[in-house]
Structure 1
Amino acid sequence: MERLIDFSRDRQMLCGGCGRRLVVHLDWIDRWEQGREKCPGCGLTCEQEDAPRVTVDPDDPALDDDRVATVSWYHTSTQPDWPTRDFDPAAVFTPETRMMMGGDEPVAACAARQRAKALHIGTYEAAVHNMLRRMRDQADWGNQFYLYRVHLNPSVVVREGWLIDPSDFVGDVVLDEVCPQGVDVARYLNYHEDPGGLSLALGREAIAGVQQVPVPLPDAWDADWVREAIAALETASDAPVPATGKLARFMRPASPRAVLGRELAAALAGRLPVNLHDQFASAAAFAEGEDPEQWARQASGLFDLIDDPTRVLAALDQQDSRGV
């Protein structure tokens, strides 16, 4: 079952001070995070410990244990074969790295810890949020990403209820801690990616199969916007111009072309929901020396991924499911 994809949907918030449940739009949350809104029940603002936080929508179909395995789940990754069969975390360690780690025993222990981590899947929106965050924060800009539609085994056992996001500061979850023996899947409230949506922590055995497409899709862009962006960028000089002013010595020279590219990316970001502005502008940033045509197609394709998910869903529908 494909759930309605809506990056702009209203969110549920629950105040820890007075217990009031709010239904708010993303612009309200943006103002609240800046201290410009407060709980209408008790007046708490974002600075207080018990301030309102996003919570699960009581109408989310994934709250129904029997429907968890029937709804579509998503994941984005730079791995072209996610989730990798016979996953060996130590395979990437060079002999020098193994020596620095202390030899075979510490390497084996590290690999075991990596294999013990849960996989994460969530809504389509969460998968896109995750990709943009990685492009911005984890130096994955320029790397090829893939979008996966994940199908669960019909017989999975779902942990009762849902958890507050159990991830540590780097986003890891130890599978056994959230899925004790006899449990295959744990639902948790995602605070950071598609805030308020339910995501899942699970092991590979819970996944029946995946469908995969590259993102952005080949030839999935706004031809008019791409043509206009290319024309504008190609007429702008690519010669870096030294910065001026008091802070000039701290700033790298930037070409008029790069400045224009950043402005075009920011304009695209401004057409998206407010909680995606910074991530998208960073993910779609124009770099010095970048090819205008390649950049414009990439930026427009990323925008289309959010603005018109139907094209991506149709492409996924054409893919065979790969067993895990």
Structure 2
Amino acid sequence: MERRIDFSHQRHMLCGGCDHRFVVGLDWIDRWEQGGEKCLGCDLTGEHEDAPRVTVDPDDPALDDGRVAQFFWYHTSTQPDWPSRAFDPASGFTPEMRMRMGGVERVAAWAARQRAKALHVGTYEAAVHNMLRRMHDQADDGCQFYLYRVHLKPSVVVRKGWLIDPSDFVGDVVLGEFCPPGTDVARYLNYHEDPGGLSLALGRGAIDKVQQIAIPLSDAWDRDWARESVAALENASEALVPATGGLGRFMPPCSPRADLSRDLGRGLAADLPINLQSQLVSAVAFGEGADPVRWAKQASCLLSLIVDPSPVLVMLDQQERREV
């Protein structure tokens, strides 16, 4: 069952100081995070430990235990076979690496801990946001990403209620700490991707089937924007120009073509929700010597994942469901 996709939907806030609940847009949250807004109930500002934080919409249909397994859930990954049946986190270790880790038993224990970590699935919005964040923060901009539509087993047992995002600083969750015996899935409030939305921490055994496509779609691009952008880039010089200003000596030289590409990227992202703009600009960064045609097509295709998800959903509908 598909839920309505809306990257700009309003978010619920809950103040820890006065328990006031209110609904705001992403622009308000952006201003609040920069100290430009206060709690609508008690005037607490963002730096206070009890300041308002994004919370779950009480009408979110995923709060209904019986409907969790009915919904489509999503995940983005650079792995072409996620979640792999034969997942072996130590498969690429050389004998030297295994020795440095303490030998066979230590490596086996480490691998078991890795396999005990939960998988994460969420809304379509959270999956796309996750991909852009990885391109922005983890230098995955040159990698091929895959979008997975996840179908849970109808028999899964869902932990009651929901949790604050239990991930550690690298996003890991040990499943057994949050899914007690007899439960398969734990809902948690996602703070970072689709803020306020519910995501799931679960084990491989909770997944029935997945559908998969490579993203972005190669033909979902704005040809007029791409043509105009390519013409502008091809007319811009590729000659490297040293940076100026007080910090210029610490910065690499940059070409007028690369400078123009950043302006084009900012223009492309200008109408997106505020929490996605910098991620898209970073994701479409233009490397020196890059092909303008390929760059413009890729940038436009990435944008289309957000502004018009319908071709993606149609493509997913056409894919076979792979058993996990």
TM-score (norm: length of structure 2): 0.99
User: Match of 1:190?
Assistant: 190
List per-residue Cα deviations over 1:53-87 (Å, max 9, x = no partner).
Answer: 00000111100011000011000000000001121
Task: Give the distance between the partners of 1:110 and 1:100, measured in 2 at CA.
Answer: 13
Offset of residue 247 of structure 1: 2.2
User: Match of 1:156?
Assistant: 156
User: Match of 1:274?
Assistant: 274
The residue type equivalent to 1:249 in the other structure is R
User: Match of 1:233?
Assistant: 233
List per-residue Cα deviations over 1:154-209 (Å, max 9, x = no partner).
Answer: 01000000011100110000010111111000000001111000000000010011
Aligned partner of residue 311 in structure 2, secondary structure: helix
Task: Give the distance between the partners of 2:247 and 2:131, measured in 1 at CA.
Answer: 33
The residue type equivalent to 2:269 in the other structure is A
* Structure 2 portions without partners, runs of 5+: none
1:211 equivalent in alignment to 2:211: yes
What is the aligned residue count? 324
The residue type equivalent to 1:309 in the other structure is P
List per-residue Cα deviations over 1:251-295 (Å, max 9, x = no partner).
Answer: 111001111111111111112000111111111111111111111
* Structure 1 portions without partners, runs of 5+: none
List per-residue Cα deviations over 1:204-257 (Å, max 9, x = no partner).
Answer: 010011111111111111111111111111111111111223322111110011
Task: Give the distance between the partners of 2:140 and 2:243, measured in 1 at CA.
Answer: 28
Matches within 5 A, 1:68-79: 68-79=68-79
1:283 equivalent in alignment to 2:283: yes
Offset of residue 40 of structure 1: 1.6
Aligned partner of residue 310 in structure 2, secondary structure: helix
Task: Give the distance between the partners of 1:269 and 1:42, measured in 2 at CA.
Answer: 34
Offset of residue 96 of structure 1: 2.1
Offset of residue 98 of structure 1: 1.1
User: Match of 2:127?
Assistant: 127
CA RMSD, Structure 1 to Structure 2 (Å): 0.8
State the identity as a percent.
74
TM-score (norm: length of structure 1): 0.99
Task: Give the distance between the partners of 1:69 and 1:40, measured in 2 at CA.
Answer: 36
Matches within 5 A, 1:1-324: 1-324=1-324
- Deviation >6 Å, runs of 4+: none
The residue type equivalent to 1:135 in the other structure is M
Aligned partner of residue 13 in structure 2, secondary structure: strand
